[in-house]
Structures are given as structure tokens and as C-alpha cells.
A = this chain, B = another copy of it.
Amino acid sequence: MLEEKSKELLKYLEESVEIVTKMGLKVTDFRSRYAKLTMPIEQNRNHIGTMYAGSLFTLGEMAGGAIFLASFDYENFYPIVKELTIRYRRPATTDMTVEVEMAAPQVERLQKAVEGNGKVDWDMNLELKDEGGEACCFVHGIWQMRKRDR
């Protein structure tokens, strides 16, 4: 069962960007250093009935925000995406899911770095999978977390 604090974070991920809310992105699992996000096919079909490339991009891109909230001090730092590559391997014909996880030592290292420098980059490779567990897209992203201005 999700704690109250987690529920707030999920609501933030799902509702803080209006166009992402329109896509229907959902956080389907969320715990310390781990998140699972789902993009429904229904609101995101393209002209040939499969999932639109931009909605798949959003699923991968939002994984960066999700793992940030699941792992770091979000009251004093915030994430941005610096660069993202998505490779489309096969058409996405069902709801799509991404799982993202960060090991405790990496979290610790990055948290120390951002406290020292005010910002730090991290990169991740992600797979966007269909309901059959097939990887339809490969994502490589570089995100940066920064100290909030006070």
C-alpha cells in the first residue's frame, strides 16, 4: 500500500504537465528507488493505430522524473532532461510500460555530488515494453538534477 507521501508524488507525476495528463500516463508502482509507469494505447494512437512516437518518448522521459522523486531529496533539488534518444524497434500495439530502478550506492554518490556542485548529470538505458513483455523501444537519456533556488 502506498503511503500518503508517495500518493502525493504520484499525483504530481501524473498531473503536473497538462499534456501528459491528457496522454493518460499512470504511475503503476512506486517505492524507494523504483518506479513503474504505464502509457495507455487508447488516447495515444497514431494514424496507423499503434502508439504515437511522441507518447512513447514521454513514457521514457517521465521515467527520469519518477526515479528522481523515488530516490532523491526533491524538496531541495529538481530534475531536467538534457538529451534523450529513442529507438523504435517494433510497433507498440498495447499499453506500454517502463520500469526504472536505481541502486543505493548510485543514489548516494549522485546525492553527494549535487550537494557539492549544485548540479549533477546521470544517464539511464530503458526499455519500453508491451503487455507481452516485448521491448518495442530502447531509450537512452541524460538527466540533470539541480539545487533549487531559494
Residue of B nearest to A43 (CB): B19
Pick from B16, B18, B46, B57: contact of A16, CB under 8 Å: B46
Report the nearest B residue to A89, measured CB to CB: B82
State the main secondary structure of chain A at its contact with B.
Answer: mixed
The 8 A CB mask of A36-55 against B (1 = contact, 0 = none) is: 00000001111110001111
Residues of chain B with a CB closer than 8 A to A20's CB: 52, 54
| Number of chain A residues whose Cβ lies closer than 8 Å to a Cβ of chain B | 31
**Contact partners of A82 in chain B: CB under 8 A:** 87-88
A81 contacts the other chain (CB 8 A): yes
> CB-CB < 8 A to A124: which residues of B?
none
Q: Does residue A76 face the partner (Cβ distance < 8 Å to B)?
A: no
Using an 8 Å CB-CB cutoff, how does the interface string of A19-33 with B read, 1 for contact, 0 for none? 110110000000000
CB distance from A141 to the nearest CB of B (A): 10
Residues in chain B near residue A43, CB distance under 8 A: 18-19
**Which residues does A use to contact B, with CB under 8 Å?**
12, 16-20, 22-23, 43-48, 52-55, 57-58, 61, 78, 80-88
- For the complex with contacts A17-B52, A57-B84, A82-B87, 8 further pairs of A-B residues with Cβ separation under 8 Å are A12-B47, A16-B47, A19-B44, A48-B78, A53-B61, A57-B61, A83-B87, A84-B86
